[in-house]
Amino acid sequence: MALTAGGVAGQIIKHCMKLKGHEYCHAKYIDKGITITASDGTVREIYVNERLVPGETLRVVISDPRDAFVDKKVEPVAGDLDILYEDEDLIIVNKPSGLVVHPCHGHYYDTVANIIAYYYEQQGLDIICRSIGRLDRETSGALLFAKNKVAAGRLSNMREIGTSGRTYHAIAEGWLENDSDTIDKPIEQVPGVKLLRRTCESPAGQNAVTHYRVLGRSKLGDIPVSLVEAKIDTGRTHQIRVHMQSLGHPLIGDTLYGDRDKAGGFERALLHAASLECLQPFTNNKISIKAPYPRDFEQAMTYFL
């Protein structure tokens, strides 16, 4: 962190970097965990009670003790990684459709997390990444990972209070009557079917809110379709897909909630996280990233030109 005035390192860490003791204590016990860089470029380790002078830069390494995360070790696996943005604390990638975010049953080595682990392994970096808001397997687009535990906590809090989030683009069957609206319908798992969700009135349902606006209306062959922009206040499984289906406008290509005969030749629900906004967890600088459309969504967009 660059400084314009002198100060005690520990106080700068606490009041400028806003790190709590437990968040940076591990740095005191690792090689070059807390260092300053002088104006002539020389780097030296320091104690937190040392005083800096104008022109010096303070650096604190935030890392996770490896032994605390043995069970969370993700196997590095080579793969294509479309990086949209990266800094010391976070990385944003453009996830392709068909790829699971984290290892789970049946997907232990073919996930975004595996590929990111390999990416850092090749650089000799021991980084544990945590996703901040996941995407369904079928959904493509901007996906955010925190590169340390402190950043993960701050980014997760931003997501909860609404200072960060994604904007989705979707192509829905039919022409929506309203140009914009809010869908406020709880969602629950379909009894006996683990994968499926539905809207409900039951108090057991999870609160779910989706805001949408129509960007365009066209036809996919003989099928009327709408290009929709959506933002969600909550992150429920299949939320946008279920909410659009509840209006009678399932997403094109969605064989779970739509009509297979109206898929238009597309093999997945046409839903893409087109952009992502958040604040850098330590500087509070605004980060705004756009995720280019994958080939299938780009093809569908030609119907709206």
| Residues 48-79: tens digit of each pLDDT | 778 888 888 888 877 665 544 444 578 999 99
Which amino acid appears at position 231 of this protein?
A: K
* 175 lies in some domain: yes
Catalytic, 136? Answer yes
Do residue 142 and residue 206 come from a single domain? no
Do residue 49 and residue 23 come from a single domain? yes
- Give pLDDT, residue 87: 96
* 286 lies in some domain: no
* 280 lies in some domain: no
What CATH code is carried by the domain that includes residue 230?
3.30.2350.10
Sort 2 into a burial class: Cβ within 10 Å, 0-12 / 13-18 / 19+: exposed
Do residue 56 and residue 71 come from a single domain? no
In the predicted structure, residue 112 carries a pLDDT above the cut 90: yes
Which one of 52-61, 79-88, 150-159, 202-211 scores highest in mean pLDDT? 79-88
Average pLDDT, the chain: 88
Domain boundary among 132, 161, 190: 161
Query: Whole-prediction pTM value?
Result: 0.82
Name the band, by pLDDT with cuts 50, 70 and 90, for residue 24: low
C-alpha to C-alpha distance for 301 and 305, rounded to whole angstroms: 7
Domain membership of residue 34 as a residue range: 7-60
Do residue 106 and residue 154 come from a single domain? yes
CB 133 within 8 A of CB 144: yes
* 49 lies in some domain: yes
pLDDT mean over 199-210 = 89
Beta carbons within 8 Å of 286's beta carbon, 6+ residues apart: 277, 278, 279, 280
Sort 71 into a burial class: Cβ within 10 Å, 0-12 / 13-18 / 19+: exposed
Do residue 111 and residue 17 come from a single domain? no
Domain boundary among 118, 146, 161: 161
Do residue 171 and residue 251 come from a single domain? yes
Q: Say which residue the tokens 């021991």 belong to.
A: 126
The secondary structure of residue 294, as a DSSP letter, is: P
Number of domains the chain is built from: 3
* 290 lies in some domain: no
- Give pLDDT, residue 302: 93
Do residue 177 and residue 269 come from a single domain? yes
C-alpha to C-alpha distance for 4 and 53, rounded to whole angstroms: 9
Among 67, 71, 89, 136, the active-site one is 136
Do residue 77 and residue 93 come from a single domain? yes
Q: Tell me what percent of the residues of the chain surpass a pLDDT of 70.
A: 91
> H helices of the chain, where?
9-15, 21-24, 112-121, 149-161, 239-246, 295-301
User: Is the pLDDT higher at 22 or at 272?
Assistant: 272
Name the band, by pLDDT with cuts 50, 70 and 90, for residue 28: low
Do residue 156 and residue 172 come from a single domain? no
* 113 lies in some domain: yes
- Give pLDDT, residue 243: 98
- Give pLDDT, residue 22: 64
* 305 lies in some domain: no
Do residue 175 and residue 237 come from a single domain? yes
pLDDT digits (tens, 9 = 90+) for 228-267: 999 999 989 999 999 999 999 999 999 999 987 777 789 9
Domain boundary among 136, 161, 186: 161
Do residue 70 and residue 154 come from a single domain? yes
* 147 lies in some domain: yes
Do residue 153 and residue 173 come from a single domain? no
Q: Say which residue the tokens 């909550």 belong to.
A: 234
Least confident segment among 27-36, 39-48, 250-259: 27-36
